[in-house]
Structure 1
Amino acid sequence: MASNGKRVLVTGSAGFIGFHTCSKLLQQGAAVLGVDNFSAYYDVGLKEARTDILGNHEGFSLARVSIEDADAFGAAWTAFRPDTVIHLAAQAGVRYSIDAPRSYIGANIIGTHNVLELARHHPVRHLLAASTSSVYGANTEMPFTETQRTQTPLSLYAATKGATELMGHSYSHLFGTPMTFFRFFTVYGPWGRPDMALFKFTKAILEGRPIDVYNNGNMVRDFTYIDDLAESIVRLTEAVPGREPVEGDSLSPVAPFRSVNIGNGQPTPLMEYIGALEVALGREAMKNFLPMQQGDVPATEASSALLQQLTGYAPNTPPSVGVSNFVNWYRDHYGS
């Protein structure tokens, strides 16, 4: 693939979303520097396997550093000289944030501060960063739109992500860095994280163990397929915030800054999602129905209208297709 001249630094490149985003950028001819510390939050072998695939592209290079290590991270950034930065590294997981809150302050707050400082001192054309649908917290008006209030987070994970949006806005206003924060909605698909529901459900069903179904199955999620998400991120790199808002825009009146939902816009009941998994696996799940977990919300639904306005694209993969693709990958990767 001939180079397209773009130089993109991606934090969290060994992660689920980072891996797919890097893959798409490399397929389009970008030079990509992946930055990842290969944390042990989940199976490091999975992260190594993703990185091995990225290493097959001549345009890919890797810095095994933590974004919390300002000196090492800064050295990698300045040596690469990115024109675009996609900041995906984070401590993820709503439930883990109840048990290990300090790790979220380090990775999400301090790590993001280092990203913002580097973009301040080594300016880039566009800084994009991952937020989450969890910032909508106690909001109940559906679908969620980017202009709704996000001051009622229900977990520390959501609070740290909301804080990074506020930090980003202040830096964008003070130093003029164009920024886009995207809010993800329940991402799933091949190479997914082992701590996510689809991965855990698949493993348990194949091993003949029951699955834990929270809120007695009365949950609705806007499940977003990973390929759709990566496509949206890459397209948003070209939607650099300027002065002219589009219809329904979240563009700040005082900074080149906006937030954008990336969701499928097709809320799916959890039991329907599990049903698609049962079909793909060819076996029925034993279900252990439980009450709602702390920090969780009963429903999410994204408006993808702004994303479509900015990029001409919106996710549209139905869960039945995406779940089947995940199962095919899981069986192939683990020989199940």
Structure 2
Amino acid sequence: MKTGNWKIVGGFGAHIKSNRTELIIQHKGIIKETPINEISHLVIFGGHNIQTSTITTLIKEGVFISFCESDGEPVGYMAPYDYSSFREIQELQKSVAPYSYAFTCALGSIRTRILTIEKYAEIFGPDIIYSGELDLLSGYSKELENMVRIEELRRIEKLVRDMYYEIISRFIDPSLHFKRRTVRPYSDPVNAILSFGYGMLSSAFTRAVVGGYLDPSAGFLNRGNQALVQDLINCWKCEMIDKAAIEFIRSDDFNVKGYEISHGRCILKEDIIQQLITIFSSTINPDLIDSQVENLIQALKGESQFSILR
């Protein structure tokens, strides 16, 4: 897999083109040029214009391209031909008994959320956790060991996720109207910011998964498009996205004029999008993501035990 930096284009209306050696992005009268040999991954959020010759050039140079909606929802990807040498590893992926992998993902997701809540209680005070909630969450973690069906693992993991976001809402400014994690379209800036970060994290994991010849839709715990990617990113959202997002939202850098709410939908403005790209580019660790996916591949080959790396 080609190594290097990723390039992220957010907002709307950029013109993306290239020559043989440079990727050229023109946006609001500003032109930025980046050597193609320094790019491993191009992530495009929202509506922009990109030349087909540029796509061809990037793919030939081994650049992975991810496409997301403006709110961070992953749409698809384009990859060089050598990313499709997948038969052996995907057959292993689909033939192994899925329960142990699903259990590891569910337990990883739950434990990282409990640990994160405990850290927030140290920072913001124990009152953010209602009486008995932490015991309840720990009980869910222990209860996983008694689950025999993947559907049960999925239910408990989602229940803990829902509680996690509800607890987070208690130390976020009430005027932002964040009470829980919601589905699209997002009506508050907190959900919009989290989703943008999750889109970046999903793109990073998709590149690693596809680069490892795995099927991103063949999950163990989750089902549907990007199921495997969701299995993995739910174990890393707290560490790579949530902490930085909450710190930003609670900081003086967060400007309430950086978004607008129209017809029940929150739209992030250009300035805040650029801030988020800078923040999450520093908190998402591609090397660690590659190591996590490599751990999964080794487990599928019977060379090691699958685990969530810490």
Q: If you compute each CA radius of gyration, which structure gives the higher value, 1 or 2?
A: 2
User: Normalized per residue, which structure has more helix?
Assistant: 2
Q: Normalised by the size of structure 1, how large is the TM-score?
A: 0.28
Q: Normalised by the size of structure 2, how large is the TM-score?
A: 0.30
